[in-house]
Amino acid sequence: MPVCATRGVAKKAAERPHSRAHSMIGYIANTDQAWFEFLRRQPAQEEVNFWNPSGRNLFRGKVGSPFIFRLKAPVNMIGGFGLVSWADRMPEWLAWECFGQGNGAPTVDAYGARTRHGGHGN
């Protein structure tokens, strides 16, 4: 099953002149609580994979765009954010090879179960 992988890397924003206002376009993503909690309990990671189990909705923003993690109900709040370094479709096995536990699951089997069940696996 293809998943949509969006990898984020923390980077400093380039300095810009303060003489004019700048706008930034980002993406607010509804985020599975289990994915968020698993990653929050891990040591800090430079990269995580914000995957989409359907593989249909590929992020179309620019590299460097903010990717904001909105936790679903009942929490309904912003849990964190990252900066997009790239987005692409890839098979589950490759996403696991690239990100491992950065996919928000402890094992490849748990990750596969979550992608097949819309993010709500074990």
Tens digits of per-residue pLDDT, 45-87? 888 998 887 767 777 788 889 999 999 989 999 999 888 888 8
pTM greater than 0.85 (yes/no): no
Rg (CA), the chain: 15
Q: Which residue has the higher pLDDT, 119 or 36?
A: 36
**d(Cα 114, Cα 110) in Å, to the nearest integer?**
6
Are the CB atoms for 93 and 53 separated by under 8 Å? no
Tens digits of per-residue pLDDT, 9-36? 433 344 445 545 566 688 898 898 999 9
The domain segmentation of the chain, as residue ranges, is 2-7+27-116
Q: 71 forms bridges with which residues in the sheet?
A: 31, 77
